[in-house]
Amino acid sequence: MKDAHDRYANIEVGYLLQRMETYSGMTILATNLRTNLDDAFTRRLNFIVTFPFPDEEQRLRIWKVLLPASLPHAGDIDWEFLARKYNLAGGNIRNILVAGAFLAAQQATVLNMDLILQAARQEMQKTGRFIREEDYLYTRR
């Protein structure tokens, strides 16, 4: 143990394992940091289901599916560009669309490509990803 944080983390994991062992139902755990789980912890899990990162085609479907039909949006949204340019998980795509919708409401306009790009930049900053200016430049076709 390096510090008090490690000690408390170990106590919490121990408590979780104890509760799981006495619980008769199904427990579902989720993490995006699979490599941080130690062997003692994973040995106690009956099944581990891995959801691979979506490829470009899957991201395109996610972008389109997550946009509610009831949300007013401009016809300038280039879904193919977004799917190709941004290697994101579904949760990140959802966050971008929600943030874009808020920006549109704030500006009393409809969701458009510029607002989605602005929201994408915010999402990338929030997740600590490297931001290149050219990733947010879009030339309409």
63-107 pLDDT tens trace:
999 999 899 999 999 999 999 999 999 999 999 999 999 999 999
Say what the pTM is.
0.72
Q: Is 45 exposed, middle or buried (0-12, 13-18, 19+ CB in 10 A)?
A: exposed
Task: Tell me what pLDDT residue 106 has.
Answer: 98
Q: Is the pLDDT of residue 27 over 50?
A: yes
Q: Which residue has the tokens 């966050």?
A: 95
Ordered structural domains, the chain, with CATH: 4-43 (no CATH), 56-136 (1.10.8.60)
5-9, 21-25, 34-38: least confident range: 5-9
